[in-house]
Amino acid sequence: MPKPKKLSQESFGRAAEFIRKHARPLDRARFEFHFGEGRVEQVVEELVQFQNPDGGFGNAIEPDIRMPSSSALFTSVGFQTAREIELGADNAIVRQGIEYITRNFSEELGGWEPNPPEVQSYPRAQWWEYEPVDGGLGTMRVLNPGAELLGYLLDYSELTDERIIDAATESVLSTLESHLHDPEFHALLCVGRVFSTADFLVDDDLEPKFKDAVHSICEEGSTSWESYGAKPLWFANSPASYLGAQLKDLCERQLLFELDHQQVDGSWIPNWAWGRYESEWEQASNEWAGYLTVQNLIAFRNWNWLEN
């Protein structure tokens, strides 16, 4: 008997119940916005809880860092939701967030320091240890989260100094050219978010190299999706995504994988762990489960893999 190629109504219902009972209020609001009767305003009400008075985002919006204060990395995560619900430039969250991004751009570094030294004072995953920037940001940190932040500046270019956009663009593109020789998928995720920005002029020579790199890294990652390989749905959560056509076959393979890996309680759980700060990791893991479950349901819907 062939495997089903749709998420059943029963499986969707279990996922919805898990989200309503266990997900963060922000992810519950996102779920209701996409699948219920939730309004943009309700998502905004929850998103603003993560924004600090300085305009940046903090408060563990990225669950692997439990720091309350703002960072460029946290702010990139906040703007993922702003883009998802299509907030306009007149929204206070957007205006204050863009001011934070603009204010914290370093021309000397060609980008943004992802997290401040203060991150060391809070429970966090080992991959978020603070690294001094005295010798420059380095390839990874120019692109992650710098490329993504550039995309948000372009989304709201009317609120941004054009000189910063130009400087960040030059830094991102020159760094990406060298990075494609040995790419890392988190960096490519951030680049994908700026390449999908409507007003970004993609270099004709660089774009096919980038797409090939993404396809290769997702193909390689398919052997370790149960641990921590790059997942194509993270790059293309719908056929209409910037990389949807490029990754169609791989996305469908992942959708089959996710059908097999839904938990009994309806959730999808993170395929990584900190290996330390056990109580804080338990909380972060639960938050990730809510987020990942919403993300997977959105992908199943967008790829027409939800049973009617």
Structurally, the chain folds into a number of domains equal to 1
pLDDT bin (cut points 50, 70, 90) of residue 2 is: low
Q: Per the structure block, which two tokens stand in for 176?
A: 């990406």
User: Considering the domain boundaries, does residue 8 fall inside one?
Assistant: no
Domain that holds residue 57: 51-202
User: Considering the domain boundaries, does residue 268 fall inside one?
Assistant: no
Give the mean model confidence (pLDDT) for residues 148-172. 96
User: Considering the domain boundaries, does residue 173 fall inside one?
Assistant: yes
Q: Which residue has the higher pLDDT, 134 or 299?
A: 299
User: Considering the domain boundaries, does residue 276 fall inside one?
Assistant: no
This prediction's pTM: 0.96
User: Considering the domain boundaries, does residue 250 fall inside one?
Assistant: no
- Residue 237's identity, in one-letter code, is N
| Alpha carbons 201 and 80: distance in angstroms, whole number | 20
Q: Which residue has the higher pLDDT, 136 or 186?
A: 186
Give the mean model confidence (pLDDT) for residues 41-62. 98
Would you list the DSSP string of 14-51?
Answer: HHHHHHHHHS-HHHHHHHHHHHSS--HHHHHHHHGGGB
What is the overall mean pLDDT for the chain? 95
User: Considering the domain boundaries, does residue 109 fall inside one?
Assistant: yes
Predicted local confidence at residue 1, as pLDDT: 42
User: Considering the domain boundaries, does residue 224 fall inside one?
Assistant: no
Predicted local confidence at residue 4, as pLDDT: 61
User: Considering the domain boundaries, does residue 180 fall inside one?
Assistant: yes
Q: Which residue has the higher pLDDT, 5 or 211?
A: 211
